[in-house]
Amino acid sequence: MIDAISSDQLSTILAQAPSIDQIGALERVARIQARSIKGAAKLQGLRMALSMIDLTTLEGKDSPAKVSQLCYKAQHLHDQADGLPTVAAVCVYPSMVAHAKKALGNSGIKVASVSTAFPSGQAPFEIKKLDTQYAIDNGADEIDMVISRGKFLSGEYHFIFDEIAAIKEICGPIRLKVIFETGELDSLDQVRRISDIAIAAGANFIKTSTGKIQPAATFPVVLTMLGAIKDHFDKTGQMVGMKPAGGISSAKIALHHLLLVKEVLGDAWLTNEWYRFGASSLANDLLMQYQKQLTGKYQSATYFSID
> In three state form, how does the secondary structure of 70-112 look?
HHHHHHCHHHHCCCCCCCCEEEECHHHHHHHHHHHCCCCCEEE
Across 99-233, the runs of DSSP E, i.e. the strands, are 110-115, 142-146, 175-179, 205-207
Q: Which residue type sits at 237?
A: G
Clarify whether 262 is annotated catalytic.
no
Clarify whether 168 is annotated catalytic.
no
pLDDT for 26 equals 96
Per-residue pLDDT tens over the stretch 150-171: 999 999 999 999 999 999 999 9
How large is the average pLDDT for residues 194-223?
A: 96
Q: Of these residues, 131, 144, 196, 285, which one is catalytic?
A: 144
How large is the average pLDDT for residues 119-133?
A: 97
Instruction: Find the range with the poorest average confidence among 140-154, 221-235, 265-279, 284-298.
Output: 284-298
pLDDT higher than 60, residue 2: no
Q: Which residue type sits at 268?
A: A
pLDDT for 1 equals 42
Cα separation, 40 vs 45, in Å, equals: 9
Buried b (16+ CB within 10 A) or exposed e, 60-76: eebeeebbbbbbebbbe
Q: Of these residues, 101, 129, 177, 207, which one is catalytic?
A: 207
Domains of the chain: 38-294 (3.20.20.70)
Across 77-201, the runs of DSSP E, i.e. the strands, are 89-92, 110-115, 142-146, 175-179
pLDDT higher than 50, residue 272: yes
Per-residue pLDDT tens over the stretch 35-92: 999 999 999 999 999 999 999 999 999 999 999 999 999 999 878 777 899 999 999 9
Clarify whether 243 is annotated catalytic.
yes
The most distant pair of C-alpha atoms in the chain lies apart, rounded to whole Å, by 60
